[in-house]
């Protein structure tokens, strides 16, 4: 009987690539640690790519090698996406500081502008409005929309008037 010779290099690279791909995919799903899965994923891609190219010259089975290549590519993209998400979350963290500073400034402005009594009255009106919002139906939604539009027009007129007054007062100086 004739012994079938298989290239051991192809098998070794394929198995090494598959094992690295499994390690990469398992670590890719772990937050923060998943970023470290890039190195084994890239090595697995390299090993399995070399093994596939060498196995194309021979007529040997490539299932394990192809599986390793696919798994390593998926692990690589998961790791890269974790880096992207980490960068976005970091920039969002910086923005929350600005939002918090703005809310403190707004609260300080409200405290300076309104007295405690006025704030209590405002809270009471807001509570009354919350009770009325539950009563909104299709019939009165149109009426509410018209009233809101009218109030917005009046508010716009007041803003324009205040703008003109401010412009006139700055021109006189």
pLDDT tens column, 14-48: 889 999 999 999 988 887 776 788 899 999 999 99
114 assigned to some structural domain: no
Q: What is the domain extent for residue 141?
A: 136-173
When pLDDT is cut at 50, 70 and 90, the band that residue 6 belongs to is low
Please tell me the distance from the alpha carbon of residue 33 to that of residue 79, in angstroms, as a whole number: 9
In the prediction, which pLDDT does 86 show? 80
83 and 23 fall within a common domain:
yes
130 assigned to some structural domain: no
In the prediction, which pLDDT does 153 show? 85
Contact 51, 65 (CB under 8 A): yes
16 and 83 fall within a common domain:
yes
Between residues 110 and 17, the one the model is more confident about: 17
The single-letter DSSP state of residue 29 is T
When pLDDT is cut at 50, 70 and 90, the band that residue 1 belongs to is very low
- Long-range CB pairs of 52-55, under 8 A, 24+ apart, other chains included: 54/7, 54/9, 54/10, 54/13, 55/7, 55/10, 55/14
107 assigned to some structural domain: no
102 assigned to some structural domain: no
Please tell me the distance from the alpha carbon of residue 72 to that of residue 42, in angstroms, as a whole number: 7
76 and 145 fall within a common domain:
no
Please tell me the distance from the alpha carbon of residue 159 to that of residue 167, in angstroms, as a whole number: 12
How many domains, in total, are found in the chain? 2
């Amino acid at each position: 009987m004739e012994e079938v010779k298989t290239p051991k290099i192809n098998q070794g690279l394929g198995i090494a690539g598959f094992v690295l791909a499994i390690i990469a995919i398992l670590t890719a799903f772990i937050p923060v640690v998943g970023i470290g899965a890039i190195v084994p994923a890239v090595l697995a891609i390299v090993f399995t790519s070399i093994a596939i190219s060498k196995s194309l010259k021979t007529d040997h089975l490539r299932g394990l090698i192809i599986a390793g290549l696919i798994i390593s590519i998926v692990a690589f993209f998961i790791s890269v996406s974790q880096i992207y998400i980490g960068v976005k979350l970091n920039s969002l963290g910086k923005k929350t500081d600005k939002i918090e500073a703005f809310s403190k400034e707004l609260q300080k402005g409200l405290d300076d502008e309104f007295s405690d009594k006025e704030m209590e009255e405002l809270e009471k009106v807001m509570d009354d409005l919350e009770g009325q919002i539950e009563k909104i139906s299709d019939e009165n939604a149109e009426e509410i929309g018209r009233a809101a539009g009218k109030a917005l027009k009046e508010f716009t007129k007041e803003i324009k008037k205040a703008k003109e007054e401010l412009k006139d007062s700055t021109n006189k100086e």
